[in-house]
């Protein structure tokens, strides 16, 4: 009797082990907007029924196609693809999943459920797309997914080998670089372990060349260069108006050479955006230079603001912490231009879809350029304008008053005379200007060290009163009072003049805002 009872207990215990081996749970990640979301990949292998391969959990086409990629990858890795009924659930089931990043956890779950691989230790996350031969391909959005894994208490992440440097930007997580499904299986079986990835030292900012034209090589336009220096120092929006060929686009494309270096936190913010957008350059896990985006005027609303069924960042977000340059400003669609107004104020953009709302960061500096009229020569002293006055008015009115009110600096870019074109290089180049910009930004960082602000342009009404109005001397106070009355400045324009004045004072290394600073700021206001 005792022997029969022991045999029965052993049979029950063995059945339990077999049942447990038929179910596997693997942690992976999804990207919603710019943030990660933990996804639990549950794999069940049944003993009865036809042998279909079903994936549930609101997956898109790429997720459904994972069945064929996983099947081929397992077979071509020298492993056995289970023939029983297979069900894969991506939980939570109410969260839409897209992309091929679930290939690796699905394949691993099948191998664990079929008893070919031991389950990994707790606290691990798996991310990666599989090729048909079992290699693990690049996956977008690795940085936010690894960041979320650390926040949720996971200690180890398995990522594609090509994305290991990007994943290693997140401190406090052990990164395992996986080159193939076979290599992962050997690691989990302890046949040939993969050593944790150790990132090499990145080049310092001073070692990196800055793309763009040096200000030293731009002839004339000294007053425009000064305006751009003020804009770079305070992060102010700029509109350049001038005839064709006067150098507006060249000046704008020289702007990256004088922008201040990004802080470590800013670099991670920008890198996260480009990781989600799939725009990280090969071999460049961390973006160290400020973005400069220049979309064509035919861009759609979704292309500029962001959108799609599963919203993706647009050019506004891709310009975060950098510059968004809109050349030929009146040629952009009216609705597209008006969509910029809210992000310029709030520094974020919200994309609403039936599935929910996604908020993207949009703290960018707007640079725009336009001709004064359709032919481009209205007001030019060397070439007559061929446009009727009504055409000039219509053209200039394509830019709405509320949008113009959000631009801090307006500067005219006239034709360059022959004498200036024939001169040698300018005595001052981008390096000297950038040093002054850096010094000014450092003053601003110290001033706003106890707040979330990074530049003068980000000040709100409270900060304007605290750091601008209180520091006006009497002459400056009288000048701004007269200007508000005579120029009919709105409350927003009044605050923007004070912000630009604060930046000009910072460039001069002064705490008090004097009348000369206010006067220069006022000359940058729109006269329309």
Question: Residue 308: left if φ>0, alpha if ψ -120 to 50, beta else—which one?
Answer: left
Residue 219 falls inside a structural domain: yes
The mean predicted confidence, pLDDT, of the chain is 90
**Structural domain contains residue 200:** no
- The per-residue pLDDT for 309 is 78
Q: Which of 98-102, 171-175, 185-189, 380-384 has the lowest mean pLDDT?
A: 380-384
Render pLDDT for 64-100 as a digit per residue (tens, 0 to 9): 999 999 999 999 999 999 988 999 999 999 898 999 9
Number of structural domains, the chain?
3
**Per the structure block, which two tokens stand in for 385?**
């304008």
Instruction: Please determine, for residue 4, whether its predicted confidence score (pLDDT) is greater than 80.
Output: no
Whether residue 148 sits in one domain with residue 254: no
pLDDT category, 14, cuts 50, 70, 90?
A: very low
Q: Give me the CATH number covering residue 142.
A: 3.30.230.10
**Domain-located, residue 201:** no
2 domain-assigned: no
Residue percentage of the chain with pLDDT more than 90: 77
Q: What pLDDT, on a 0 to 100 scale, did the predictor assign at position 19?
A: 45
Same domain, 306 and 223: yes
Which element (helix H / strand E) includes 29?
A: strand 23-32
pLDDT of amino acid 202: 60
Distance separating alpha carbons of residues 227 and 230, to the nearest angstrom: 5
> Residue 6: inside a domain, yes or no?
no
Other residues' Cβ atoms within 10 Å of the Cβ of residue 415: 16
What confidence category does residue 5 fall into, taking pLDDT thresholds of 50, 70 and 90?
A: low
Looking at residue 8, its pLDDT comes to: 47
Sorting pLDDT into bands at 50, 70 and 90, what band is 381? confident
Of 188, 221, 242, the last residue of a domain is 188
Question: Do residue 326 and residue 252 come from a single domain?
Answer: yes
| Mean pLDDT, rounded, for 376-382 | 89
- Do 441 and 474 lie in one domain? The reply is no
Identify the pLDDT of residue 466.
Answer: 95
Same domain, yes or no: 468 and 431: no
Residue 208 has pLDDT above 70, yes or no: no
**pTM (2 d.p.):** 0.89
Residues belonging to the chain: 528
Res. 15: pLDDT tops 50: no
CATH code at position 376: 3.40.50.300
Same domain, 271 and 246: yes
Q: What is the pLDDT of residues 436-446, one digit of tens each?
A: 999 999 999 99
Output Rg (C-alpha) for the chain, integer angstroms: 29
What is the average per-residue pLDDT within 96-113? 95
Is position 11 within any domain?
no
Is the domain of 254 the same as that of 396?
Answer: yes
- 197 within a domain of the structure (yes/no): no
Kindly state whether residues 498 and 468 are assigned to the same domain: yes
pLDDT in tens, 245-291: 999 999 999 999 999 999 999 999 999 999 999 998 767 889 999 99
Whether 315 and 354 share a structural domain: yes
Q: What's residue 3's pLDDT?
A: 53
444 and 475 together in one domain? no
- pLDDT value at 7 more than 90: no
What domain range is 47 assigned to? 18-188
- Whether residues 303 and 384 share a domain: the answer is yes
- Would residue 393 be called left, alpha or beta, if left means φ above 0 and alpha means ψ between -120 and 50 degrees? alpha
State the pLDDT confidence band at 421, using cuts at 50, 70 and 90.
Answer: confident
Q: 179 and 211 in one domain?
A: no
pLDDT at residue number 436: 96
Q: How far apart are CA 387 and CA 395, in angstroms?
A: 10
Please identify which residue in the block is written with the tokens 């020298």. Answer: 78
Whether residue 473 lies inside any domain: the answer is: yes
- For residue 9, is pLDDT > 80? no
Mark which of 188, 222, 254 sits at the end of a domain: 188
Write the secondary structure of 221-254 as one string of H (helix), E (strand) and C (coil).
CHHHHHHHHHHHHHCCCEEEECCCCCCHHHHHHC
Task: Write the pLDDT tens digit of every residue in 191-206.
Answer: 999 999 998 766 555 5
Q: Sign of the CA dihedral 384, 386, 392, 396? A: negative
């Amino acid at each position: 009797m005792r022997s029969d009872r022991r045999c029965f207990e052993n049979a029950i215990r063995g059945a339990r082990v077999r049942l447990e081996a038929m179910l596997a749970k693997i942690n992976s990640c999804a990207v919603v907007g710019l943030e990660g979301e933990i996804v639990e990949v549950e794999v069940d292998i049944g003993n009865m029924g036809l042998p279909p391969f079903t994936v549930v959990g609101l997956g898109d086409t790429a997720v459904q196609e994972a069945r064929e990629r996983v099947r081929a990858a397992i077979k071509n890795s020298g492993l056995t693809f289970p023939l029983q009924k297979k069900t894969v659930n991506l939980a939570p089931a109410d969260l839409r999943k897209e992309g091929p990043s679930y290939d690796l956890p699905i394949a691993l779950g099948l191998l664990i459920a079929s008893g070919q691989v031991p389950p990994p230790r707790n606290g691990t996350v798996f991310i990666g797309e599989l090729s048909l031969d079992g290699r693990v391909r690049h996956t977008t959005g690795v940085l936010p997914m690894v960041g979320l894994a650390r926040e949720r208490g996971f200690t180890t992440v398995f990522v594609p080998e090509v994305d290991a440097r990007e994943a290693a930007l997140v401190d406090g997580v052990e990164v395992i670089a996986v080159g193939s499904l076979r290599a992962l299986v050997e690691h989990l079986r302890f046949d040939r372990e993969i050593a944790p990835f150790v990132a090499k030292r990145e080049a310092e900012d001073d070692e990196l060349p800055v793309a763009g034209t040096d200000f030293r090589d731009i002839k004339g336009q000294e007053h425009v260069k000064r305006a751009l220096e003020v804009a770079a120092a305070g992060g102010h929006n700029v509109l350049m108006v001038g005839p064709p060929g006067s150098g507006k686009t060249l000046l704008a494309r020289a702007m990256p050479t004088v922008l201040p270096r990004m802080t470590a936190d800013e670099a991670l913010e920008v890198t996260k955006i480009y990781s989600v957008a799939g725009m990280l350059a090969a071999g460049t896990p961390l973006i160290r230079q400020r973005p400069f985006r220049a979309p064509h005027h035919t861009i759609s609303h979704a292309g500029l603001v962001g959108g799609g069924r599963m919203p993706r960042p647009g050019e506004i977000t891709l310009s975060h912490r950098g510059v968004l340059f809109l050349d030929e400003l009146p040629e952009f669609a009216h609705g597209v231009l008006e969509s910029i107004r809210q992000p310029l104020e709030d520094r974020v953009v919200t994309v609403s879809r039936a599935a929910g709302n996604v908020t993207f960061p949009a703290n960018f500096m707007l640079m725009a350029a336009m001709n004064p009229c359709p032919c481009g020569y209205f007001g030019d002293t060397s070439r007559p304008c061929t446009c009727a006055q009504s055409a000039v008015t219509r053209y200039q009115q394509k830019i709405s008053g509320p949008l113009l009110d959000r631009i801090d600096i307006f500067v005219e870019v006239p034709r360059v005379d022959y004498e200036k074109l024939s001169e040698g290089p300018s005595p001052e180049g981008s390096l000297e200007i950038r040093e002054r910009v850096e010094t000014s930004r450092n003053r601003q960082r110290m001033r706003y060290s106890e707040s979330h602000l990074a530049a003068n342009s980000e000040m709100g009404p409270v900060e304007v009163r605290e750091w601008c109005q209180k520091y006006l001397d009497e002459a400056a106070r009288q000048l701004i009072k007269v200007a508000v009355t005579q120029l009919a400045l709105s409350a927003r324009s009044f605050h923007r003049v004070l912000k630009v004045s604060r930046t000009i004072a910072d460039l001069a290394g002064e705490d008090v805002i004097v009348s000369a600073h206010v006067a220069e700021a006022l000359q940058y206001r729109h006269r329309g």
